Structure 1
Amino acid sequence: MEIFRMLKKKIMGKDVKIIFPEGEEIRVIEAAVRLKREEIVDPILIGRREEIIKIAEASNFDISNIKVVSPDRYATTDKLVEIFFRKRNGKVTMEEAEKMVYNDPNLFGVLLVYTGLAEGMISGAVHSTADTVRPALQVIRTKPEYSIVSGLMVLQREDNVYFFADCGININPTAEQLAEIAVQSDELAKSYGFEPRIAMLSFSTNGSAKNEESEKVRKATQIVKEKYPHIMVDGEMQFDAAVRPEVGELKFPGSPVAGKANTFIFPTLDAGNIGYKIAQRLAGFEAVGPILQGLNAPVNDLSRGCVPEDIYNLTIITAHQVVAGGKSKGFVDPTEGMEPASADDDKVLDIKSFKEKLAKES
């Protein structure tokens, strides 16, 4: 996929650290080995070290240079518990917070991003979207200018690249939320070097139908135009009017977007999810995502049916989000007010040193 070759050039040598909470999953291990070997990112696996070693060796993967973090061995896990307890602002007890941080690898992972051990996280090979996104919203939260997170799909076939949103998060967004999704998608498409032309999709075009559903899309379009006049957006419009010049000119004359859109904002999650899968399965487009938009730090969600190549590709996307947004050093200092960790309690203990330690103890 051409877009990945372009993105890889932008992230190579940036030493982006990406957390993988599903470190005991063989597909994740395989992708991490490739990413490390090609020096694309510095992967960090979460899980039981002994189990990860066993799974990797059973498939002949060398992970001696890949870092692993176990919640029960990480020097500052108790500090992470305190951070999560404060972030929840009385919604959980300290005892509940401790149980959640030690037992939920996704929560532990976003806390590591929050405290600066890594700049992004990828999960979903085993966990549901809700399991991945919930802790990100609780800890990392949305950027100040946004109230929601949305999911964008990148679709490519030969030289044609399109952006579809929202395809993964918001079931029936309001006009205000649709406007946010459009702005988020504009930002992401521009970070890839594209000039987005955004079509706000509906079953009517330019007021051809008067109803609550199409009015929502018209209102969203107006919000974007008024607040962000630099964004090229128009709507509401049907898909054929958005992509076929002759139809766009007939149904929406004078529109700067009609007939030449490359970014599509769907009115509901139903429409977006169905739309990208039709393009993928019937039209032969390669689809990557959903890429989560609007968070303070990149956290992305895999399909549970993913293969190692999907994990590899989404990692490139995630690392590019880090580089494009400026590498974060974390929101807080995880060691503030704590005693230094003991020699046996490394913050991140790599596999090679851990195996040496096991050999000495045996």
Structure 2
Amino acid sequence: VVSLAYGGQESRFGPDYIIPRPFDPRLIATVAPAVARAAMDSGVATRPIEDLQAYRERLSQFVWQSGLIMKPVFHAAKQAPKRVAYCEGEDERVLRAAQEVLNEGLAQPLLIGRPEVIAARIDRLGLRIRAGEDFDVVNPDSDARFREYWSAYYEIMQRKGVSQDQAKEEMRRDTTLIGAMLLRRGDTDAMLCGTLGTHQRHLATIANVIGRREGVRSFAAMNMLLLPRRTVFICDTYVNLDPGPEQLAEMTVLAAEEVRRFGLVPKVALLSHSNFGSLDTPSAAKMRMALEILRRSAPELEVEGEMHGDAALDATLRTRLFPNSRLTGEANLLIMPTLDAANIAFNLLKTATGDGITVGPILLGAACPVHILTPSATVRRILNMTALSVVEAGGVRDR
């Protein structure tokens, strides 16, 4: 936050940075509770605060706008922290996020990268974390598991045109592949990648090494948007170009499962340019077919369609158009007919009305807890996805 506000200039406490700058979130989240504690200890406070930790959490919501919606996820993650591998462990945003992860007690970070580069950047950023004490490092240039990992990778890929030499080379240079093998072999509980590179490249590696959950036919991606008046989830923002009815139904069930992790009841709208049968185009027809599949496969799910976007978010309008709708109130999970529709809608809303406050992308359908971030991911987004990954890792163990 401070670095962005001051044009990338680092703010490291010392002779040149003693008084926090106005944009420093520690002013409200750390200094205020410290003042309150001092006032209580000295007897000046006439109304002592009984729970300082709860007070800190309330203050943090003024700094991090995603704090309130993420609260149940953070709470669940703190109950049972897991190991989380960060494939771009040298990325400064990842290092800052690792510091926050440890501050919050969310996870045990595992950074993939060159130890000397990680150490130098931690020092330059003025972070307190130290390798071997606060987190572990997997060095792509020198790791005792290298032979074990490339051999296992070769076994997976030998009939897909990958030779032993290629397997060795890829295992040295592809940090997403290293993270995927860590996850596959049980050396980490969850994995985050994607701050560098394309979503498609990362997904290809995950598909080869991690694979899909049992019974799941397709991956999908969902993003959460914190808008001024509501929170909405949009799917599929990154994976399926033109999903069929079965894919749409499957991703709807997977997306609803994730929405519940945030302590919300999923209310699903299948969106289209058609309103409840007003048009008979292939796109509208597949959304109606998806609804029929969902009525049979997930009868407990509150879902309706096909409908316009305004009907999804305006219950009064929807009731006037279709009084027999099974969807009550505002929809919070919007299933789009194509990737183009989902990605365009997400980015327009994020920029025009959402102030860029998002959580995700959330990868749906993977066999293990793994998510692909984007090159524009912020420290807070990495922190949020870490918490979600930890909660998912606990769920995998419970299944």
Q: TM-score, normalization: structure 1?
A: 0.86
Counterpart residue number, 2:103: 37
1:259 shift after superposition:
5.1
1:162 shift after superposition:
1.9
Asked if structure 2 preserves the Cα contact closer than 8 Å seen for 1:198 and 1:262, the reply is yes
One of 126, 133, 136 as aligned partner of 1:67: 136
Asked if structure 1 preserves the Cα contact closer than 8 Å seen for 2:225 and 2:354, the reply is no
CA distance in 2, matches of 1:150, 1:275: 16
Structural mapping, 1:94-173, within 5 Å: 94-157=164-227, 160-173=230-243
User: CA distance change for structure 1 residues 326 and 194 in 2, over 3 Å: closer, same or farther?
Assistant: farther
Counterpart residue number, 2:13: none
**Pair 1:83 & 2:169 matched:** no
Counterpart residue number, 1:343: none
CA distance in 2, matches of 1:159, 1:324: 31
**Pair 1:7 & 2:76 matched:** no
Q: TM-score, normalization: structure 2?
A: 0.78
1:279 shift after superposition:
2.3
CA distance in 1, matches of 2:280, 2:184: 46
1:20 shift after superposition:
0.6
Counterpart residue number, 2:331: 261
Structural mapping, 1:208-287, within 5 Å: 208-257=278-327, 260-284=330-354, 286-287=357-358
Which consecutive unaligned segments of at least 5 residues does structure 1 have? 329-362
Counterpart residue number, 1:310: 381
User: CA distance change for structure 1 residues 262 and 191 in 2, over 3 Å: closer, same or farther?
Assistant: same
1:159 shift after superposition:
7.2
- Highest relative contact order (Cα 8 Å, sep 6+), 1 or 2? 1
Counterpart residue number, 2:86: 20
1:29 shift after superposition:
0.9
Bigger mean CA deviation after superposition, 153-162 or 118-127: 153-162
User: CA distance change for structure 1 residues 11 and 71 in 2, over 3 Å: closer, same or farther?
Assistant: same
Which consecutive unaligned segments of at least 5 residues does structure 2 have? 1-65
Deviations 1:195-246 (A, max 9, x none): 1111111010111001111111111111111122222222111112212122
Bigger mean CA deviation after superposition, 205-214 or 128-137: 128-137
Question: Identity over the aligned pairs, expressed in percent?
Answer: 28
Counterpart residue number, 1:192: 262
What is the identity, as a one-letter code, of the residue corresponding to 1:169? V
1:119 shift after superposition:
1.2
1:284 shift after superposition:
2.8
1:316 shift after superposition:
1.6
CA distance in 2, matches of 1:237, 1:37: 44
1:315 shift after superposition:
1.3
Asked if structure 2 preserves the Cα contact closer than 8 Å seen for 1:241 and 1:258, the reply is no
Counterpart residue number, 1:345: none
Deviations 1:254-274 (A, max 9, x none): 111165322110001111112
Asked if structure 1 preserves the Cα contact closer than 8 Å seen for 2:358 and 2:381, the reply is no
What is the identity, as a one-letter code, of the residue corresponding to 1:3? I
**Pair 1:93 & 2:163 matched:** yes
Q: Point out the structure with max Rg over C-alpha.
A: 2
Give the CA RMSD over aligned residues: 1.8
